[in-house]
Amino acid sequence: MPRPLSVPPNFASPAVPVNRRQFLRRAGKVLAVGSLGAAAYAWRLEPQWIEVVERPMPIAGLPGRLEGKTLVQLSDLHVGPVVDQRYLERAMGIVESMSPDVIVVTGDLMTCDGPEYAQRAADTVSLLRPDRRPVIAIPGNHDYGHGSKNPVPAEALGDALQQHGVRWLLNQCEEVHGLQVAGTDDLWARRIRVRETLGLLDRNQASIVLTHNPDGLDLPAAEWDGYRGWVLCGHTHGGQLRLPGYGVVFAPIKNKRYCTGLVDLGDGRVLYVNRGLGYKARVRLGSRPEITRFHLTGKTPPPGEPSA
């Protein structure tokens, strides 16, 4: 049995529970004040207009054989009844065409009540060709069904992924060509065990951490146990709706600093929040779906760039 989470119970609960209907209602009110063209753009174009973000990833102690190699991060595919499957398959094709050396998927692979979409989600991820390169995935809250507490769909998803050769991490670590990849279970599912996971790392070797919900970065310092390095997350969808002069309409996190992109926490941890490919409802504005390609390097970054 996993040990109880050493944080107050409400810490691991959703920041602001919201269902798809509420999200659509809120989005509709916001877009109603804008032009018809903006509304059409937000519903029809941007939700599937993928942006490939290129970033350096300086890692202390990176093995020389990984210098210049690429690591692609995907997140929040949300395979299921809302996101168009052909769009997701196209996104997988874009990633495959990049010929990355490592691929990580930071949770919410599906939207489900039970295990009904587990096989489809695994088949979708298999298009990344785990027979050619390491593909590593962790669960998010939606992989545990509505309410984030049902282990059955997550277990079915993990089994199906592993049959395709995808490495499924639940508070576990994998080594990839000398780079340690630690992956936690989900925060809202109350299964995250950061300290136990980090305890599996050799702190003298290069490492990164995958965890779905960036609010996990604010767990008590004892959980992170002095870890210094990159932490890759998803969950927020970048807010999905970002209005000029207003900002994010809604993001399912407590720490709004963690909505999207790069955040240097100033304690040796460098957070990157991917905006994801899928959506709760088909609407995005100012927050295009994202594929992130990191260029690995052991070199010291220039002034102003974070180092981990």
Q: How far apart are CA 194 and CA 257, in angstroms?
A: 21
Domain edges within the chain: 19-297
16/281 Cα distance (integer angstroms):
16
The span from the CA of 62 to the CA of 207, in Å, is 8
Work out the end-to-end distance of the chain between its first and last CA atoms, rounded to an integer number of angstroms.
33
**Residue 60: pLDDT over 80:** yes
pLDDT of residue 7: 42
Q: Is the pLDDT of residue 16 over 70?
A: no
What is the CATH topology of the domain spanning 19-297? Purple Acid Phosphatase; chain A, domain 2 (3.60.21)
Q: Do residues 153 and 110 lie in contact, with contact meaning Cβ atoms separated by under 8 Å?
A: yes
**Mean local confidence (pLDDT), 70-79:** 99
pLDDT digits over 173-201, tens only? Answer: 999 999 999 999 999 999 999 999 999 99
- H helix runs in the chain, sequence order: 20-32, 36-40, 85-98, 118-126, 151-163, 194-198, 221-224
Provide the pLDDT for residue 6. 43
User: What is the spatial distance between Cα 213 and Cα 140, in angstroms, rounded to a whole number?
Assistant: 7
Least confident range of 14-23, 60-69, 78-87, 276-285: 14-23
**pLDDT, position 30:** 54
pTM: predicted TM-score of the whole model, two decimal places: 0.88
Place of tokens 């995808």: 166
Judge contact between 191 and 143, C-beta under 8 A.
no
Q: Which two tokens stand for residue 115?
A: 């295990």
